[in-house]
Structure 1
Amino acid sequence: MIVWLNGTHGAGKTTTSALVQRLIPDSRVFDAEKVGETLMDITPGLPATDNFQHWPPWRPLVVETARRVLDYTGGTLVIPMTVLFEQYWREISSGLAQHAIPIRHFVLHADQDTLRQRIAGDTVLGPDSLFRLRYLEPYAEAARTWLHAEAEVVDTTHFTPAQTAQQIADAVKSQENDPASAKPRR
């Protein structure tokens, strides 16, 4: 199974993923951004882009990497990764479905003011405000048009990362006990 943690910068995906991993037995965190970093290291470089997700190889490589890791280890992969383009999410989710890998897709959501405060106060990644703030409006647009309808939304505005992780782990565990309780997917 894959537990995908989506949402924009500042929502708490990275912090929450490590906590979710501790709460779900036999799980591992797979940072799909590392696949993008590998593509960025190709020399000479791939065609210029402002987001490695635009490179066509990224999506199938994420699917293939997740599939191979799960074939090798079993269990659950927790993937903290922002995907705001519906087409890209469709490619990834259908690719995983072709391999019969179930996905629990969660969107970590917070209001814009909270996101801005978190980004500005991030001591781990640093504020890098220009890059990270640039994704707030595309996230809001994706949330309005498709993303929130496609996932289980967890509002992190007033939750600690530990509370958010517990909510997600509880949802995953309840599905394991009652598969019919999962939110239906399109």
Structure 2
Amino acid sequence: MIVWLNGTFGAGKTTTTRHLAGLLPGSYVFDAEQVGYLLRGVLAGRHPARNFQEWHPWRSLVVATARELLGFTGGGPLIIPQTVLTRAYWDELANGFATEPAVPVHHFVLHTDPGTLAHRINADTAPETSTPEARQWRLAHIERYTAALPWLRTEAHVLDTTRTPPAEVARTIAGRL
């Protein structure tokens, strides 16, 4: 089983994942962004992209890696905290998990209102995410997230994290599984 935590930057995916992993015995966390970093080292110079999700190999390798991890670990649950705001990319991932043998995917979107997102991003002090470039990149995704929200609502369980602590969000997700 896969538990996919979607939502834009600042919605609480990372913190919720830590809490959720503690609630789901035998769970593993798969950071699909690491696949993007691997591909960036191989493809970036000759295949430019604004986001590594644009590369088809990212999507197919995420599916293949998740399937391999599930087989190796005995079935999960495998928690994947990863923003996916392009419907075609989500469809490709979902279809990859649906092929035989199908892997059940529980897709949750952690939703936070745009003002709170901007505040959280601007208040972030983590070295890797608080540089001016990283901050601006994250802020720019609020508009993309807002545009994606209508289709995300049809594909996932949307949980409001604006005023709900990550531990409570994790308990809600665990209860729905």
| Normalised-by-shorter TM-score class | over 0.9
Map 1:19-168 to 2 at 5 A: 19-42=19-42, 45-74=45-74, 75-98=76-99, 99-124=101-126, 125-126=129-130, 128-144=134-150, 146-168=151-173
For 2:63 and 2:46, how far apart are their aligned partners in 1?
20
Higher relative contact order (CA 8 A, sep 6+): 2
2:90 corresponds to which letter in structure 1?
W
- Provide TM-score, normalisation by structure 1: 0.88
Work out the number of aligned pairs and report it.
171
Could you say which residue in structure 2 is the equivalent of 1:182?
none
> Identity percentage over the alignment?
51
Give deviations 1:8-39, integer Å, cap 9, x for gaps.
00001111111111101110110000000000
For 1:48 and 1:158, how far apart are their aligned partners in 2?
38
Shift of 1:46: 4.0
- In structure 2, list runs of 5 or more residues that go unmatched: none
Q: Please tell me whether the aligned partners of residues 5 and 13 of structure 1 are also in contact (alpha carbons under 8 angstroms).
A: yes
- Provide TM-score, normalisation by structure 2: 0.93
For 2:154 and 2:116, how far apart are their aligned partners in 1?
22
- In structure 1, list runs of 5 or more residues that go unmatched: 173-186
1:66 aligns to what SS in structure 2? helix
Q: 1:19 to 1:57 in 2, by over 3 A?
A: same
1:119 corresponds to which letter in structure 2?
I
1:133 corresponds to which letter in structure 2?
L
